[in-house]
Chain A
Amino acid sequence: MRNRATLVVSIAVIGALSLTACGSRGGSKTSGGDSAGGTTTVTIGVDAPLTGDLSALGLGIKNSVDLAINQANANNEVPGVKFKIQALDDTAKPAPGQQNATQLVADKSVLGVVGPLNSSVAQSMQQIFNDAHLTEISPANTGVALTQGEAWASGKKVRPFASYFRTATTDAVQGPFAAQYLVNTAAKKKVFLIDDQKTYGAGLAATFKGEYTKLGGTIVGEEHVNPDDRDFSAIVTKVKASGADAVYYGGEYPAAGPLSLQLKDAGANIPLMGGDGIQSGDFIKLNAKSQGDLATAVGLPVESLPSAAKFIADYKAAAYKDAYETYGGYSYDSARAIILGVKAVVQANNGKLPSDARAKVVEAVQAVSFDGVTGKVSFDEYGDTTNKQLTVYKVDGGKWAVEKSGTFVAS
């Protein structure tokens, strides 16, 4: 009888094991000061991953904000106000991000925060900033629910937090932008749709499908994979049998790489297209046959923008140790939006900061409109940027090359 019991226990243990998840570590740092003598000091907070895998992007964000602040001080942009930066490291994890938010709220001189990089981290900070009426502008978050509420996909858009803004475009336009590219530019009329059932992937696939069918394309088949799957033979066979001339994949590169490879290995020579979750060098590394695969990414490579020429030159002149990376231009514009918000508040109050400066800055930022590095900067009623620029990248010779940039226009 004991053997049978062992087997039952073993199976129960398997069940428990497959449900385990990893925890995460926290970490915090000490804070800075606040005011000075004749002038008022206004702090602009930065929250981004400054260490770890994503630190390259995070340091680019921090440096770009620093540049905007130094220039505002040098030009005496807001008379009587000196700006200073307070950058905290969230290690790309929600828990440290939450601690940083609490710390920034506690420092009364902080009137605005730029960051974070990750949508998951933003979720843990929004409530804290909103309760303190502290402006938060993310240069990189693409999760739609952050500005439009959890039920955005079903058309019930509700802005959950009035103090949260972003200069990055959302996932809600990535899918449709890809659909427009496939129909209008690449003339692919039959697409097989696959997603990994996660928030990001399923959302992309859903928004893609709506636009693609509206444009007259046919979805010849739909499939879902588990994020940990690496063997896609059954799905590849279905794709081949469906006669699709492209695959759209909502998800990330660890599964998209092998999926694309197995597709081509099976003799289906059709491109796989996805969102910025697959627009990574690792996608190409894991996939020897990635030539011709496509991905959308939010924003434009700033090098291609005439409005960014001065920013790039100034950044170079400032001799920062790290590059401005993908989100540099968007971070600079986020910082400018806060600075101009503070400026409007001070001017409306006879050159002094009012006692409820934070709440006033939120209102002022909601109303800003200026020509920034990345183009026109202003926010709609959800706090989303009104400037919906995206880029389609194509794998060419082992690199992601810019295939087509554009501004999203709903069809």
Chain B
Amino acid sequence: MNELPQQLANGLILGALYGLVAIGYTMVYGIVQLINFAHGEIFMVGGFGALTAYLALPGGTTMWLAIPLMLVAGILVSVLVAVAAERFAYRPLRTAPRLAPLITAIGLSIGLQQLVFSFYPDAKKARVFPKIPGDPFSLGNVAIQRSDLFLIIAAPLCMLVLGWFVTKTRSGRAMQATSQDPDTAKLMGIDTDKIIVMAFAIGAAFAAVAAVAYGLRTGQVDFRMGFVLGLKAFTAAVLGGIGNIYGAMLGGLVLGLAEGLATAYIQHIPGMHLFGGGAWKDVWAFVLLIVVLLVRPQGLLGERVADRA
């Protein structure tokens, strides 16, 4: 059996998940030049928000009804946490030295993990997340699981909506303006505070969608799930060109493919059998990042921007 088509599909699906989370990193960075390290935890609380909604539903609710409700709850929780983080943790530090918000973000990341660990019932161990029942669909010799269909539909949809929002709406244009030059944007009457909150909120909403997809895929959520995935998504954002939303998605897809293909094929390259397989997939992902940054320091779709004076 030729596993290449299936591995490509695996990589793209995983990559779409990374991409959705990466958008949050990239949007916030594009506007306030802050790496929001707590974004992985924004993703995590979204997963727990969705789980809470599912548990609140009467047993035997069809997934057709449950998933939209879980999405709404997850997005609500993520956006609330992200907006609160922006308002109380980041905004007071906006004029502080660069390192202050960075350290704050790390503190927030640990704090959110511990909050869920301590106060969500039974969150000391992984909690079971529902799956979409049914056999996988087959396209030729590629099996697509029902739980992954959600992501296959959601990811492109999210990207289309975001693209339309940024280029076609007033708020979106205001966002671009703020990203290019916040001071001038302010002089032109743009409420930059509102724009920054909006960037946090959009990133959080996408992270929540990704969290639901992750829960459906793995069948569980736990309080640590945002940490490693957050690092991966940040890598994807840098790979695609930090600050560029399409770059974030592209970076995610490239990273997911690299992981899937490295797991499957590196060990079959003569002389490389020691460096292949699942144990090395993260290594290859970061090797790829380094190679890309050596050739294109601004990332795949990043533009060379002159530093603002």
Contact = CB atoms under 8 A, between A and B. Distances in A.
A287 B278 contact: no
Interface string B265-285: 000000000000111011000
B279 A226 contact: yes
Given A1-B307, A231-B218, A286-B128, A9 B263 contact: no
A266 B219 contact: no
Contacts of B1: 240-241, 243
Given A5-B98, A234-B259, A234-B264, 13 more contacts: A1-B307, A6-B35, A14-B234, A224-B277, A231-B217, A237-B264, A238-B264, A257-B219, A261-B218, A262-B217, A266-B145, A267-B135, A286-B219
Contacts of A232: 278
A266 B33 contact: no
B282 A234 contact: no
B279 A224 contact: yes
B251 interface: no
A234 B218 contact: no
Nearest to B98: A6
A18 B234 CA distance: 13
B136 interface: yes
A10 B131 CA distance: 36
A285 to B, nearest CB: 6
B228 interface: yes
Contact of B220 (A1, A18, A257): A257
Contact of A6 (B33, B37, B278): B33
Interface string A141-173: 000000000000000000000000000000000
B51 interface: no
What 4 pairs between A and B have smallest CB-CB spacing? A224-B279, A234-B263, A233-B10, A241-B3
Nearest to B134: A265
* A: interface residue count bin: 35 or more
Nearest to B145: A265
B73 interface: no
Interface in B9-56: 10-11, 13-14, 33, 35, 37
B102 A9 contact: yes
Contacts of B33: 3, 6
Contacts of B14: 231, 233
Nearest to B17: A231
A265 B147 CA distance: 9
Given A17-B106, A234-B263, A266-B145, A258 B11 contact: no
A376 interface: no
A220 interface: no
B217 A237 contact: no
Contacts of B104: none
A10 B37 CA distance: 9
A287 to B, nearest CB: 7
A309 interface: no
A223 B277 contact: yes
Contact of A265 (B131, B231, B259, B278): B131
Q: Looking at chain B's contact residues, is the secondary structure mostly helix, strand, loop, or mixed? A: helix
A237 B278 contact: no
Contacts, number: 121
B6 interface: yes
Contact of B260 (A5, A234, A243, A258): A234
A226 B278 contact: yes
A230 B143 contact: no
B35 A230 contact: no
A13 B102 contact: yes
A208 B216 CA distance: 33
A405 interface: no
Interface in A258-310: 258, 261-262, 265-267, 282, 285-288
B278 A7 contact: no
B125 interface: yes
A258 B143 CA distance: 18
A226 B263 CA distance: 12
B153 interface: no
Interface in B206-240: 214, 217-220, 224-225, 228, 231, 234, 238
Contacts of A4: 307
A265 B136 contact: yes
B126 interface: yes
Contact of B7 (A2, A7, A223, A234): A234
B201 interface: no
A228 interface: yes
A4 B219 CA distance: 39
Interface in B109-143: 125-126, 128, 131, 135-136, 143
A266 B144 CA distance: 8
Contacts of A235: 263, 278
A282 B126 CA distance: 9
Contact of A234 (B145, B228, B281): B281
15 contacts: A3-B33, A3-B307, A6-B33, A9-B102, A14-B231, A17-B106, A233-B217, A233-B260, A234-B7, A235-B278, A240-B1, A258-B218, A258-B220, A262-B218, A267-B135
